[in-house]
Amino acid sequence: MNKLFFLFIISGILFSCNESDDNNEPKNELTIIGNWKLIDWYDDIPKDINKDGQKSTDLFSQWDGCKKQSTLILSNDNSGKIVYNGNINNPKCPSGFETNDFFTTEHWEFDRTNQLFTLIGDDYEDVYEIIELTSEFLILKGSGFFTCCNSEISYYTGGYLKFERQ
């Protein structure tokens, strides 16, 4: 009986030592920095963003904006750009815009604690909730920086943007 009790005590000490060692090791934290290809845009509520009379939660299939075929590049210095991967002479892009041309983003910040992605302009802050961040995917709630500004190239600035790490 004493031997079993002794083995129980020793194994408890070994397991507690291993747990404390694990807590001292740096965790492999996921980073938002990198290249993210836009693969989906959707919403919980069906919308008719292309005004064809058909509402759908799949906004990506309805959208023909210039930034649809793009990669979001977030750099270590908190700068960013949206690189166009589509065809030359896309009527939804600015005149003369070609494959590999890019839009610069505003300075950005990543609040890991609150899972927020923020673009900071001269006189505004656009805050997006990070719904998912894994080694493969990034999902942001809100789409303004990708779909905003010109009614000729965008329609609706809500929903969810899904990116795949490149």
Whether residue 125 is predicted with pLDDT greater than 70 in this model: the reply is yes
CA dist., res. 160 & res. 145, Å (int)? 12
Greatest mean pLDDT range, 93-97, 138-142, 146-150 = 138-142
Burial (CB count within 10 angstroms: exposed 0-12, middle 13-18, buried 19+), residue 137: middle
- Per-residue confidence (pLDDT) for residue 152, from 0 to 100: 54
Residues near 59 by beta carbon (within 8 Å), at least 6 away in sequence: 41, 42, 43, 47, 49, 156, 159
CA–CA gap between residue 153 and residue 107 (Å, rounded): 23
Transcribe 35-92 into DSSP letters: EEEEEEEEEEEEE-TT-SS--EEEHHHH---GGGSEEEEE-TTS-EEEEE-S-TT-TT
Helix (H, G, I), strand (E, B) or coil at 13: helix
CA distance 119 to 79: 10
Enumerate residues 6+ apart whose C-beta is below 8 A from 109. 78, 117, 118, 120
pLDDT band for position 74 (50/70/90)? very high
Q: How many other C-beta atoms lie within 10 A of the C-beta of residue 2?
A: 6
Q: Which residue has the higher pLDDT, 76 or 103?
A: 76
Nearest-angstrom CA–CA distance, 75 and 49: 31
| Nearest one of 94, 116, 118 to 106, comparing CA atoms | 118
Q: Which residue has the higher pLDDT, 16 or 157?
A: 157
For domain 34-165, the CATH class is mainly beta
To the nearest whole percent, how much of the chain has pLDDT over 90?
48
Domain extents in the chain: 34-165
